[in-house]
Amino acid sequence: MKKAVIFLVFGLLVFSSCTKTEDKPDIVIDIKVSKEGYFPNDITVPYGKVVLFRITALDDGISAGYGSNNVGHCFYIMLPYDVMVENIKKGETKEVKVKMVYPGDFLFTCPYCSGIFPTKGDLHVVR
Ligand SMILES: [Cu+2]
């Protein structure tokens, strides 16, 4: 029983993202997403800061015409950030705070519709 608890705690530590944070943001970035892609789609932020991303969907993405249950858009910053905001529906704004702990160039994308629409962008974390 005790072993199981230890494994559970260890698992949570390993698999929970350490880049999401509840800290006060240093910077706010507003992003719009639609079938036209993200605007802006090239974002530069400083390394080590906490960035509040506010993502607003202007349409419902593939669900608007392709009969999918994946309503709205996502904002997914790929590994090693691995930060996901899902189901941002038309007119909705969702937020996520991320501590920029990895310097370099990263992609963000909408896993729902990036195969059909240009919903991809570049995130540069600069020292
Ligand atoms: Cu999308």
Tens of pLDDT, residues 53-62: 999 999 999 8
Q: How far is the CA of 114 from the centre of ligand 1 (A)?
A: 6
Q: How far is the CA of 26 from the centre of ligand 1 (A)?
A: 27
Give the domain range for residue 103: 18-126
Kindly report, residue by residue over 20-69, the tens digit of the pLDDT. 888 899 999 999 999 999 999 999 999 999 999 999 999 999 876 666 67
Establish if 4 belongs to a structural domain: no
Q: How far is the CA of 119 from the centre of ligand 1 (A)?
A: 6
The pLDDT, as a whole number, for residue 4 is: 59
Establish if 50 belongs to a structural domain: yes
CATH of the domain at 40: 2.60.40.420
Contact 55, 49 (CB under 8 A): no
Calculate Rg over the CA atoms of the chain. 16
Establish if 23 belongs to a structural domain: yes
pLDDT > 90? residue 15: no
d(C-alpha 2, C-alpha 103), whole Å: 39
